[in-house]
């Protein structure tokens, strides 16, 4: 069995990242990546299976890591006593979003790829998965706290989905605008206050 040549995988990944960032997944060329990495397309296929496998090697750990982190944040909050959840919500949301922001900036280029270069791959719905988690746990929160608006108005899943999608798209603008982290922290704190204020008004949290 032929021993893999050392350093080739790393060169492929480096060149692939540049190609995907520049052209997006659909327009990226394995031939171009292979040429820049001084290898062959066959070498790429043997290491990464196919083009999407190569893209996944670049973004999969970041996508999975943030999703798992977000699930853990939601579950930790849900485990709080129901009577403590309303008064702890703002603190938990702020702390959770800051932990997520740290992770995003530790893997900044991976999130650039996820947000702006993943169309045509299974990762194109990455943000939607976060929205689904938030929607699910929002309903768990309302159930745990026996929330019911006095006027009888029902907060629909459609409304929560739209609002949550807007929140995440706003959050990820820090990546699209390539904000320095310090500026991104200030932006996210304002964004949290904006969205939490809206929730406060709708759900009448005291």
Three-state secondary structure string covering the chain? CCCCCCCHHHHHHHHHHHHHHHHHHHHCCHHHHHHHCCCCHHHHHHHHCCHHHHHHHHHHHHHHHHHHHHHHHHHHHHCCCCCCHHHHHHHHHHHHHHHHHHHHHHCHHHHHHHHHCCCCCHHHHHHHHHHHHHHHHHHHHHHHCCCCCCCCCCCCHHHHHHHHHHHHHHHCHHHHCCCCHHHHHHHHHHHHHHHHHHHHHHHCCC
pLDDT 10s digits, 51-64: 999 999 999 999 99
* Range with the largest mean pLDDT of 15-19, 143-147, 192-196: 15-19
Percentage of the chain lying above the pLDDT 70 cut: 91
CA dihedral of residues 160, 166, 168, 169 (deg, nearest 10) = 160
Question: CA 151 → CA 6, 143, 202, 204, distances in Å?
Answer: 67, 18, 11, 12
What local confidence, expressed as pLDDT, does residue 166 receive? 93
pLDDT 10s digits, 135-173: 999 888 888 887 655 555 567 888 889 999 999 999 999
What local confidence, expressed as pLDDT, does residue 24 receive? 96
Q: How far apart are CA 127 and CA 67, in angstroms?
A: 9
* Arithmetic mean of pLDDT, 89-94: 86
* Arithmetic mean of pLDDT, 17-40: 97
The band of 2, judged by pLDDT with boundaries at 50, 70 and 90, is: very low
* Arithmetic mean of pLDDT, 33-49: 96
pLDDT 10s digits, 64-78: 999 999 999 999 999
Instruction: Report the mean per-residue pLDDT for the chain.
Output: 90
What local confidence, expressed as pLDDT, does residue 4 receive? 58
What local confidence, expressed as pLDDT, does residue 149 receive? 56
Residue with tokens 């032929």: 2
Q: Is the pTM of this model over 0.75?
A: yes
Q: How far apart are CA 159 and CA 135, in angstroms?
A: 10
* Arithmetic mean of pLDDT, 114-140: 95
Instruction: Answer whether 134's CB lies under 8 Å from 164's CB.
Output: yes
Question: CA 179 → CA 102, 126, 167, 183, distances in Å?
Answer: 13, 21, 17, 6
């Amino acid at each position: 069995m032929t021993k893999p040549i050392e350093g080739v995988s790393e060169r492929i990944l480096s060149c692939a990242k540049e190609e995907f960032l520049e052209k997006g997944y659909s327009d990226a060329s394995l031939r171009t990546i292979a040429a820049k990495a001084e290898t062959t397309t066959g070498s790429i296929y043997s290491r990464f299976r196919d083009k999407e496998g190569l893209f996944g090697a670049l973004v999969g750990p970041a996508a999975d890591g943030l999703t798992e982190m977000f699930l853990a944040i939601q579950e930790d909050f849900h485990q709080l006593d129901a009577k403590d959840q309303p008064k702890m919500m703002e603190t938990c949301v702020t702390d959770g979003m800051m932990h997520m922001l740290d992770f995003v900036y530790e893997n900044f280029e991976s999130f650039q790829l996820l947000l702006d270069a993943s169309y045509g791959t299974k990762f194109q719905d990455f943000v939607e998965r976060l929205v689904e988690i938030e929607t699910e746990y929002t309903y768990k929160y309302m159930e745990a706290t026996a929330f019911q608006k006095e006027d009888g108005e029902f907060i629909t899943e459609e409304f929560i989905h739209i609002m949550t999608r807007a929140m995440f798209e706003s959050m990820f603008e820090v990546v699209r605008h390539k904000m320095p982290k310090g500026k991104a922290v200030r932006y996210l704190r304002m964004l949290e206050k904006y969205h939490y204020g809206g929730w406060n008004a709708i759900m009448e949290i005291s």
